[in-house]
Homo-oligomer: A and B are copies of this chain.
Amino acid sequence: MGATKHEIFHDQINEEAAIFNALGHPARLAIVKTLLTYKTCVGNYLTHEIPLSQPTISQHLKVLKNVGIIQGTIEGKSVCYCLNHSLIERLRVFVGDMLIQYDLHQTNCNC
């Protein structure tokens, strides 16, 4: 006990949950929103934009990278981050399917 029992769930649901989980921290969501606004962004900008220490920001960037939401390119002394196209596409499809499925039974929900 204590840790999530990933082994009892399908790989797909574990992966989807990991994506939502990565977006489920305000600092990481702030990073994603910054990348949505500015398209690309160097790590140091985030360190000055978000009032958390540099190691903490670095750690959050790692989480986002690990699930594939962002990618980083080394540019001299800096790392330039941007959103990962295929991951965004996957989120689009997942939420899209979810909403279609939801709409299908909106006529007679009795809760």
Contacts and interface: CB of A to CB of B under 8 A. Distances in A.
Nearest to A101: B36
Interface string A15-39: 0111111111111111011001101
A30 B9 contact: yes
Interface in A44-94: 50-52, 71-73, 80-83, 85, 88, 91-92
Interface residues of A, number: 53
> Main secondary structure on chain A at its contact with chain B?
helix
A95 B97 CA distance: 13
A106 B82 CA distance: 11
A16 to B, nearest CB: 6
Contact of A17 (B24, B73, B88): B24
Given A92-B95, A98-B36, A20 B29 contact: yes
